[in-house]
Amino acid sequence: MKRRLKNILMDYFMVNLGTIITAAGIALFLAPAKIASGGVSGISIIINYLTGFPIGMIMLAINIPIFLLGLKVFGKAYGFKTFFGTVMLSVYVDLIGWLIPDVNTLIDFHKGANYLLAPIYGGLLVGGGIGLIMKFGGSTGGTDIVAQVVHKYTKIPVGHAMMGVDFMVLSSAAMIFGFEKALYALVALYALGVVINKILEGVSHSKMVYIISDQYEEIRNIVIHDIGRGGNGLKVDGLYTNQERKMVMTVVGNKDIHVLTELIKEVDKKAFVIISEVYEVLGEGFSPMTGK
């Protein structure tokens, strides 16, 4: 019971931290530079420019009906964490804007060279914050809920629906702020997406290597003795030749991959080698098998 409570508190702490990081990206970089990089935050930046209403309040006004729609359509799937993330993000955006009313005193976005800092750092912060929120089971609501509702009733893929919403936001931003700023918004979207994926999937420190060679024993010795790794020997059938061969499967660190491939070339230049990214390896010699 205590462990479960501790995990719940940690989840909410990390979701809260994620909303602060996301809010900083919006309030300190994207909003001052008028970069509407899609979603509810992009819509809110546009409305803020046209009306002067606080961005956080606009986000909340848009997100609450969307949250209620998700609650009606999907039920308890949209629980308190989503509501918590939605409200806290809006609060922090306006709070940071109030604490630092003129961010141009820190970074002059009117200078051409400095302007590129806005989409890069704004995208990195927003992506980092959203990735952290999602990693700990939270959400900030927004257009992802709309996209899932659209998918439920039209079967349009969620990703396509979200791209459609972002395209409309970027098109509106291009008409209001100018085409150049819409291009900067694409930079922010790219940075945002890369960071979210890295946080959710992890940064690859290892490679999975599959080696099919007639020199099986030599390859096996290279992996065990020269690289210092274990692995598995698997029997495989060639689809074209229909011949049974043995394959070595192993995981090695990024720093070892070049050495391994060079040693394989020395033994068998005709070896068939597949190398793929590995985002997490649990067990002896890698990350320990521990709980959350």
Tens-digit pLDDT profile for residues 39-87: 899 999 999 999 999 999 999 999 999 888 888 877 765 678 888 989 9
Residues 218 and 252 in one domain: yes
Beta strand residue intervals within the chain, DSSP E: 206-212, 232-237, 244-253, 272-278
Q: Which of 148, 170, 201 is the last residue of a domain?
A: 201
Alpha-carbon dihedral sign for residues 282, 288, 289, 292: negative
User: Are 261 and 154 contained in the same domain?
Assistant: no
pLDDT of residue 250: 94
**CB of 73 within 8 A of CB of 2?**
no
Confidence band of 139 (pLDDT split at 50, 70, 90): confident
Q: What is the mean pLDDT of residues 173-181?
A: 91
Residues of the domain holding 127:
2-201
3-state secondary structure of 165: helix
pLDDT of residue 156: 80
Residue 122 placed within a domain: yes
Cα–Cα dist 31/34, whole Å? 5
Provide the percentage of residues in the chain whose pLDDT is more than 90.
Answer: 39
**Residues 112 and 93 occupy one common structural domain:** yes
Q: Is the pLDDT of residue 118 over 80?
A: yes
With bands split at pLDDT 50, 70 and 90, how would you rate the model's confidence at 109?
low
Q: Is residue 286 domain-resident?
A: no
User: Can you tell me the mean pLDDT for 125-140?
Assistant: 87
Residues 63-76 have pLDDT tens digits of 999 888 888 877 76
Outline where 52-136 has alpha helix (H): 55-74, 80-99, 112-115, 117-135
60 neighbors 44 (Cβ within 8 angstroms): no
Q: What is the pLDDT of residue 256?
A: 86
Q: Residue 274: pLDDT band by 50, 70, 90 thresholds?
A: very high
Lowest mean pLDDT segment, chosen from 29-33, 53-57, 284-288: 284-288
Q: Please, what is the average pLDDT of the chain?
A: 85
Indicate yes or no: pTM above 0.85. no
DSSP state of 285: T
Least confident of 144-158, 162-176, 180-194: 144-158
- Residue 160 pLDDT greater than 80, yes or no: no
Residue 47 has a pLDDT of 95
Whether residue 114 is predicted with pLDDT greater than 60 in this model: the reply is yes
Task: Look at residue 292 and tell me whether its pLDDT is greater than 60.
Answer: no
pLDDT value for 285? 63
Residue 211 placed within a domain:
yes
Name the residue with higher pLDDT: 57 or 141.
57
pLDDT band for position 253 (cuts 50, 70, 90): confident
pLDDT at 200 over 60: yes
Residues 30 and 168 in one domain: yes
pLDDT reported for residue 247: 93
DSSP, collapsed to helix, strand or coil, labels residue 282 as strand
Mean pLDDT computed over 213-232: 91
Residues 148 and 265 in one domain: no
Closest CA to 280 of 267, 265, 290: 290
Does 87 lie in the same domain as 229? no
| Total number of domains in the chain | 2
**Same domain? 108 vs 191:** yes
Domain assignment of residue 129, yes or no:
yes
Q: 3-state DSSP call for residue 203?
A: coil
